[in-house]
Chains A and B, each alone.
Chain A
Amino acid sequence: MTATLTNPLRVGLRQERVISPQCLVIFGASGDLTHRKLVPALFELFRQRRLPSEFAILGCARRPWSDDEFRAKMAAALAPVIRDHPTAWEQFASGLFYEPVDLQQSEHLVRLAHRLEAIDRLRATRANRTFYLSVSPDFYGSGCRALADAGLLSDPKRSRVVIEKPFGRDYGSAEQLNRIVQACAQENQVFRIDHYLGKETVQNILVLRFANTIFEPIWNRNFISSVQITAAETVGVEERAGYYESSGALRDMVQNHLTQMLALTTMEAPGRFDPEAIRNEKAKVLQAARLANEDEPWKCCVRGQYAAGGSANDPLRGYREEPGVNPNSTTETYVAMKLFIDNWRWQGVPFYLRTGKRLPKRLSEVVLTFREAPVHLFDAAGGSPTANQLILRIQPDEGAGFVFEVKAPGSGMRSRPVDMHFSYDESFGEPSDEGYVRLLADAMLGDPTLYTRADEVEAAWRLYTPLLELIEDSPWQLPVHPYEASTWGPGASDSLLASDDLMWRRP
């Protein structure tokens, strides 16, 4: 049997909410993110007919480009896609504009406001504006202030601001940034992006939990013995050494992406599918989360840094040998930790989080391990029966799996574990949109469900404050253990689980 590539009945059928006439203003338009992610995502939305014709993109940066130069640069960056859709690009590009803007110069903001009014007239964008701050994190606060001073955020129904990660460096800086941003705009105008939330499979955690009756009754401490959340990358630091040296895995991955997966996995059921209801529950569960040992955080956290590895044919550099990295760097490229959530649902259930670069596989997953059967009636083929596991695969091979015991064929009554497997590919066969496609559309729709609210961000930073303080004040207590590139991290992280008679899942 040959399956056709796409479902012909699915083409053009998407039931999407309609974005209002809109001007998206990108600050930092000359940067990588604009041509690598944002404009491709917007072009994808355009090709899917999800953008209104009354739409414009205004790129802003300090470089003195013209509209045509901006269009040409975007066209060059998207050349492979445009080759297949030249007419669509022509139409799309007619809505691309550029204005040289330095957010620190008030006269530039005045000029920007005039330009936006002109675009409203030209493209009938009805003064609906989404400002995307794709600038250095140092300018998030001052950028918001400049927009507010220019009156560009004064209409809470028509103006929004999207802020890229990282939102702060720690609890204190995040709180301060929140204060500045909230003085400039109402909370419902502020969209703090975490692109992990744009992933279909991350959103599916909510659907799986709250659209099925079989999971919720057992989704608690009475049935679940432990939870592992993993985000593993095979790549090294690549060209991001400058940023990564000052952030490390804890700030780059754990505080945002892994914490969001933790929140979605552990939150209570919201009363309704409503942005505030969902974000309330996420914030509540994060406020109840804590490190397993806050007094001695070094006992519940392991840091690592990849060393050289690979094979003779394909050697891999260690982190300290990477271009732009301090040869004596103590920045962690791997972190594993144990958390608890002090509430009725999760009291006593350990949550193990790990993330790292240069691990053997690229994957993100949430694994819920259920308690063992109270009585073992049967011999297990593997010595002891395997605990049931529900595996939510975020990427790649998006889907879910369930491990359970069945009777092994033969005359005896021996049990062995098998996998039940759901794959997005097999069931839907369509590639998911890039996370930015969903998130940009949501921001322009004014739907903040998949964006993090101020209290969520602060709760997430507060959770890791003991670790950040320890790294800052007495880093020798939380040393970075070297691990060979393309292995599953330092041995110390295995010990973290071994002390609980557990092991990391080897996917």
Chain B
Amino acid sequence: MSPQLTLQAPLALSPNEVSGYLDRLWEKDLEASTGASTFTLVVWEPSWLQQQLIRTGHIDGPISGLLNEQLFEVARAVTADCGLPPCTSPMAPELAWALGQQPGSHTAEDLRGQFVDQAISAHRPRRLITLAPTLRDDHPLETLVAAYCPLPEERSGSAPACGDVVVLRGGKGAIEQGLGMVNPLVADDLPCWVWWNGSLDESPNLLEALALPSRRLVLDSSIGDPRRCLDVLVERIAAGQAVNDLNWLRQRTWTESLAMVFDPPGRRDALTHVVQLDIDVEGDHPVQGLLLAAWIADRLGWHLLSSYRIPANGTEAGIGAEFQRNDGQIVQFRLMSVPVGVPKSHPGALVGLRLICCPEGRKPLCVILCSESGGCMRLEAGGVATMELAEEVVSLSNESEEMEMARLLSGGHDSTNPLLAAAAPVAAKLLPH
């Protein structure tokens, strides 16, 4: 699916002209059209990695804000040049930061906000507001406006339902200064989504200002300091905001695969006798692994007693914890970060899971899940051979952020998934301070 550009060349206006221009546009120029009765989408779109790769001449422009496997390949290839370990994920903020220390002055056309993935544009956003910070902090604020209507052959009804695009581009400071114009542009009578498509560490004030509690927030808890990521998740969910976490969505094949192992009723009894849970993740970002552990603990009614750091042993370090089951027995948990040769696009992707159950009077059951690229050898060690073994390979989703986003926009995600709402606080407690 190729991305779509807005049909009309965007018009550069001064920030205080935008609102009036859009009002006039809808009242006069587009009076034969109807504004799509859909939603407003506000996107924080820093695209630091893409911007830095272009600046340093590793890839060509334009700056689109869209990620693809080709960009990730280049990012993986430059990791070593940046002095980072090979298991650094392309989306890890430290890679963009390290690239920022390298020389380069290539420039490219900046089409962020105008370059909309078809999966998203198919939902006809009524207004798409993109905040596109530039590498240069002193870049003054530019505001661009464009309207769009479906092409005649794409129209399905008599009156075309149109929308508009607003882009705020400039240095971070300039964008923060221009923030006052964003909220009045958000229609009160339509749902509003805020997609924080960057690290949760940066611009906390901007996040506060954009992601008002009534808006549906989409974030990615794999990008940013783990503590900050989990705190944002927990605070927002506790405040009743609808929060969708792309990092949570990415682990769905793991939750599905684990549930599948226990679908046969004859196996379910083992779930009440879990004694050990081990999870391996790529690199040193534990949030996805912690969310998975927290989901299991919540579903099985475990109570967290303590958590602690496991000191680095060679290349591996981790987090340990003790849970108490409903029957008072203890469950040992370990999350280990393991090095991988070809890291996934996002930090902390799951590599393997091992669940050991010891039902009374029966042979222990060991469930091992591992990713296609990960291998299970580490988890198969330690006496597993004497147990009943259920081993599954988890196939990994290759869906882009935009596809995930489009799925969210298609409806039904106006409240936080209850499983995430229950898991996030447990995951936050699992992460030792």
Residues of A within 8 A of B (CB): 1-4, 7-13, 15, 18-22, 49-54, 120-121, 124, 126-127, 151, 154-158, 425-430
Contact = CB atoms under 8 A, between A and B. Distances in A.
Contact of A53 (B258, B269, B415): B415
A1 B266 contact: yes
Contacts, number: 110
B311 interface: no
23 contacts: A1-B362, A3-B265, A3-B266, A3-B268, A4-B268, A8-B268, A9-B296, A9-B300, A10-B262, A12-B417, A22-B411, A53-B414, A53-B415, A54-B411, A120-B37, A121-B37, A124-B190, A126-B36, A155-B156, A155-B158, A158-B157, A426-B264, A428-B263
B125 to A, nearest CB: 11
Interface in B358-382: 359, 362
Contact of B191 (A8, A124, A155): A124
Contacts of A12: 417-419
Given A126-B38, A158-B157, A429-B264, A8 B412 contact: no
Contacts of B412: 18-19, 49-53
Contacts of A22: 411
A15 B271 contact: no
B95 to A, nearest CB: 31
B399 interface: no
A9 to B, nearest CB: 4
A19 to B, nearest CB: 6
A10 B264 CA distance: 11
Given A18-B413, A157-B156, A54 B266 contact: no
B362 A13 contact: no
A3 B269 contact: yes
A7 B413 contact: no
> Chain A binding site: helix, strand, loop or mixed by DSSP?
loop
Nearest to A125: B37
- Cβ-closest 9 pairs across A and B: A52-B411, A429-B265, A157-B156, A155-B157, A52-B412, A3-B265, A9-B259, A53-B414, A4-B268
> Chain B binding site: helix, strand, loop or mixed by DSSP?
loop
Interface in B21-46: 36-39
B36, B263, B271, most chain A CB atoms within 10 A:
B263
Given A9-B259, A13-B259, A155-B156, A20 B264 contact: no
Interface of B: 36-39, 156-158, 189-191, 252, 255-256, 258-259, 262-266, 268-269, 271-272, 296, 299-301, 359, 362, 407, 410-415, 417-419
A4 B271 contact: yes
Nearest to B300: A8
B185 to A, nearest CB: 18
A364 to B, nearest CB: 24
Given A7-B268, A9-B262, A429-B265, A52 B414 contact: yes
Given A49-B412, A124-B190, A158 B156 contact: yes
A152 to B, nearest CB: 11
Given A53-B412, A126-B37, A426 B265 contact: yes
A10 B299 CA distance: 9
A13 B264 contact: no
A21 B38 CA distance: 9
Contacts of A11: 299
Contacts of B269: 1-4
B98 to A, nearest CB: 37
A13 B251 CA distance: 12
A154 B158 CA distance: 8
